[in-house]
Amino acid sequence: MKFSVVIATYNRATLLRDTLASLAGIATDAPWELIVVDNNSPDDTQRVVDEARATFPVPLRYAFEKQQGRSAALNLGFRLAAGDIIVTTDDDVRVTCDWLTSIEKGLNAFDCDYVGGRVTPIFEQPSLPDWFPPNNGLLWGVIALLDYGPEPIKFGTRVPLGVNMAMRRHAIERAGGFDPAIGRKAGTLLGQEVREWCLRAHAAGLVGYYSPDIVVEHLIPSDRLTKKYFRRWFYWRGVSRAILYGDTGLDMEKPEQSAIDFTTVPHIAGVPRYMFASALKAARDAAAAMMHGDRITSFDRELWLWTFAGILRQRWSDRRRPLVRASMRRTTAGEESTPGRPVPTL
């Protein structure tokens, strides 16, 4: 088996039906399979998969993961996968017929262990809010969109999105699976599981590339383009970064570029003291931008404060845990990374 495509899904049977129809249009001479992992869905997800199986062009497997969370569901898919190349995507995408061919070309062209590609939007609403930036940036990543440009880039300070990512089997065997402690769970917007996996992958000497020719389209519903959703997302981003910090000692703002020994930094309520000054500056910048009518910058700075609120919550909870000094080492790619976090086993 050349490819195993793994989808983790929760309670989105209608969207999944259309995604399966899109995946059925893939054209490749290489053998491949599709594994749909149902993560405790109360809807008719299993029936949708069973109906699609009857006419699906390749083996379509249904699996059930009781442990809640996208990471746990994907890890089950990894265990079941028979392919040499394991591909992850979501239950609300549209793919091109040459998607898998482009993935294999990227892996071979860059002689690398994993790849990620562009994620372009299909917006449900016809116009974007005036506070949403028109070009690719941090806020685009919130709704799982990504475009690093027309040229290939070696992953390091940048990371792929799990909606359009592929790994050689040996990469998962060496780096382990996704960490269920920080992956998405129902009722939360915990994240950072792909970022944390990439840190472990680099520490293990694995190399990844962004390939602009690997493209999926991602459906963006109207309820994702609200300030309420973005505030909630950044709050949980702060919680996730704080969990990662507690386990690895890596910088909560820029984990891939961490260069500080935080055991030597003064803390207040478990948070590095300098971050309180950064929060004050962000509040001032948000107010100043609003006064000048710059709604994009004002909201951007406000969202940093929501991240800080999430950090405060989690670090207060973990305040009695001893600080961890990041165990840094130089990888073959030239970045610094850490193997300090325990490897999630499959």
pLDDT digits 0-9 by tens, 200-237: 999 999 999 999 999 999 999 998 999 999 999 999 99
pLDDT digits 0-9 by tens, 274-324: 999 999 999 999 999 999 999 989 999 999 999 999 999 999 999 888 988
* Percentage of residues of the chain with pLDDT beyond 90: 72
- Confirm if 207 and 160 have CB atoms less than 8 A apart: no
* HEC letters along 115-175: EEEEEEEEECCCCCCCCCCCCCCHHHHHCCCECCCCCCEECCCCCCCHHHEEEEHHHHHHH
Query: In terms of CATH architecture, what is 3-223?
Result: Alpha-Beta Complex (3.90)
Instruction: With a cut of 70, say whether residue 185 has pLDDT above it.
Output: no
DSSP 198: H
Strand 93-95 and strand 208-220: the pairing is antiparallel
Q: Could you give the residue range(s) of every CATH 3.90.550.10 domain in the chain?
A: 3-223
Average pLDDT of span 323-334: 52
Q: In one letter, which amino acid is 35?
A: I
